[in-house]
Structure 1
Amino acid sequence: MALLEVRNLGISFGGLRAVDSLDMTIDQGQLYGLIGPNGAGKTTVFNLLTGVYRPTEGIITLDGQNLVGKKTVEINKAGIARTFQNIRLFKNMSVMDNVKIGLHNHFKYNLFTGILRLPGYRKVEKSMDERAMELLKVFDLDKEAGNMAANLPYGKQRKLEIARALATEPKLLLLDEPAAGMNPNETEELMKTIQFVREKFKMTILLIEHDMKLVSGICEEVTVLNFGTVLAQGKTGDVLNDPRVVKAYLGE
């Protein structure tokens, strides 16, 4: 069953056609890759899916709900969460508080209750602490809960960003180059983490990645973009062996 459907998606910036006529279907529970050379339009697609940009044409539906024209916060509440190529944590806040920020879609109290620290506030905060700790334990970060996010090693910062995204309880998780800056051992661990997240949370995942070992190791299907258009699409093994894809990455 399709969770995300993209049809004829396109966007232009002045005379530049950044994404052109993109069709893509991602099924519930699938681990899907979006790949292509630098400048191919991959991050632009993520920005379209999350409401950072509004498409010039085309449709985006998540679980049957039209997302075109919705704001980023509305799309997040509808069920899409993302991480970024350049890690965007609140680095001067604790590991625990970074995850709790992601929980605010689901735990609510009014301003008056929060300012006066009334019983309702304390109950919500206790529930948030417990849920945040559960997520941190999943990623083996519970012992780091009180530490500043900035003090975590790079690989753990990546895990924390994923944990924070999962705190919003998404239907679809977008990972933007999660292996960027990682050494081979860290990348291997990241592959296991992504597969674990998929199984543990029954999560549908779309990732942008340049590390073809990671892509071939975990993605079932991929779409390859080149200059904003679809170059190839289908089963990962078939696509990565397509001469057009090899040429796009390696040149003549």
Structure 2
Amino acid sequence: MALLDVNNLSISFGGLRAVDDLTFSIEKGELYGLIGPNGAGKTTVFNLLTGVYKPTEGLIKLDGTDITGHTTIDINQVGIARTFQNIRLFKKMSVIDNVKVGLQNDKELSYSTLDGILHTPKYRRIEKEIEQRALSLLAVFGLDEEKDVLAANLPYGKQRKLEIARAMATKPKLLLLDEPAAGMNPNETAELMETIQLIRDKFEMTILLIEHDMKLVGGICERLTVLNFGRVLRQGSTKEVLSDPEVIKAYIGE
């Protein structure tokens, strides 16, 4: 059974069909790409998957559970986390505190207000566990030595990594990455590619990626869907899709 099943998904804004009859599925552990030019509807799809928008038609299932039209909070709690094209960090908080925010979704790491006020043994135990989990995640991303640095003071590429680390802190089943290479130089993009592959392998993570950098897409994605004005132009293996003349002509510009 696929981890994510999207069937006949559609949404309209004022008569404009932004996403039209989209169907695709992603297997557990797969690294899947969603590509197309600006305005093709890619980010709208992410907004539908995460509950920002409610679809006009269609069905979304995560691990067999219907999540169509659920709230953003509910969808995050059942296992979808995302990053954004424009990095959204708590810039005035430390690196480790950004990750701790993501860990707050874990019910095992919760305590009462009274525990917090009185600094009970439960409070101290859970706070220690939160600290250890946050440090472990930061180590995966090579950010543990910068745990006390303000997020705003990190280089751009490391801010990207931190945003992904914070998303991973919510323990998702499916990670949505929205143009993670945007604004990066070639060296940062190469490091990002390694990071994404590491996440998939270490955590057996299923990843859906929106990206314009075709070198990155071709280097890590196993299958692709290409959107054109909200409709599917081509679907299939990465090699087949990227060699399709219509895809090359319309989206890669070669």
1:35 alignment counterpart = 35
User: Relative to 1, partners in 2 of residues 1:196 and 1:69: Cα closer, same or farther, differing over 3 Å?
Assistant: same
Per-residue displacement from partner, 1:24-57 (whole Å, max 9, x unpaired)?
1000000000000110000000000000000001
**Aligned match of 1:195:** 197
- In 1, the alpha carbon distance for the partners of 2:167 and 2:117 equals 27
Shift of 1:15: 1.1
SS in 1 for 2:84: coil
Give the drift of 1:243. Answer: 1.4
Secondary structure of 1:173 counterpart: strand
Q: Point out where structure 2 has 5 or more consecutive residues left out of the alignment.
A: none
Query: Which residue, 114, 135, 144 being the options, matches 2:116?
Result: 114
1:3 aligns with 2:16: no
- Distance in structure 2 (CA, Å) of the matches to 1:251 and 1:87: 27
> Could you tell me which residue of structure 2 aligns to residue 158 of structure 1?
160
Q: Residues of 2 paired with 1:35 and 1:147: CA distance? A: 34
Counterpart in 2 of 1:66? 66
Matched with 1:57 is: 57
Q: Distance in 2 between matches of 1:103 and 1:120?
A: 17
CA drift at 1:248: 1.5
For residues 160 and 144 of structure 1, the distance between their equivalents in structure 2, rounded to whole angstroms, comes to 11
- 5 Å-filtered alignment, 1:174-213, equals 174-213=176-215
> What is the CA–CA distance in structure 2 between the aligned matches of 1:189 and 1:160, rounded to whole Å?
13
- 1:128-139 equivalences under 5 Å are 128-139=130-141
Shift of 1:122: 1.5
CA distance in structure 1 between the aligned counterparts of 2:249 and 2:112, rounded to whole angstroms = 57
Percentage of identical aligned residues: 71
Tell me how far apart the structure 1 counterparts of residues 37 and 246 of structure 2 sit (CA, whole Å).
12
Matched, 1:220 2:217: no
- Which residue is equivalent to 2:44? 44
Letter in 2 for 1:234: G
CA distance in 2, matches of 1:131, 1:66: 30
- Offset, 1:160: 0.6
Shift of 1:250: 5.3
Going from structure 1 to structure 2, the CA distance change for 1:234 and 1:127 (only over 3 Å counts) comes to same
Greater CA deviation, 115-124 or 132-141? 115-124
Answer yes or no: is the 8 Å Cα contact 2:53–2:69 preserved in 1.
no
C-alpha separation in 2, matches of 1:181 and 1:69: 32
Which residue pairs with 1:100 in the alignment? 100
Q: Partners of 1:251 and 1:158 in 2: how far apart?
A: 27
- 2-structure distance, mates of 1:239, 1:140: 33
Residue 2 of structure 1: SS of its match in structure 2?
coil
Q: Alpha carbon RMSD of aligned pairs, Å?
A: 1.1
Name the TM-score, length of structure 2 as normaliser. 0.97
1:118 deviates by 2.3
1:140 is matched with 142
Give secondary structure in 1 for the equivalent of 2:224. Answer: strand
Other-structure match for 2:79: 79
Amino acid at match of 1:10: S
Give the Cα–Cα distance (whole angstroms) in 2 for the partners of residues 141 and 237 of structure 1. Answer: 34
Give me the TM-score of the superposition, normalised by structure 1: 0.98
Query: Separation in 2 of the partners of 1:250 and 1:50?
Result: 28
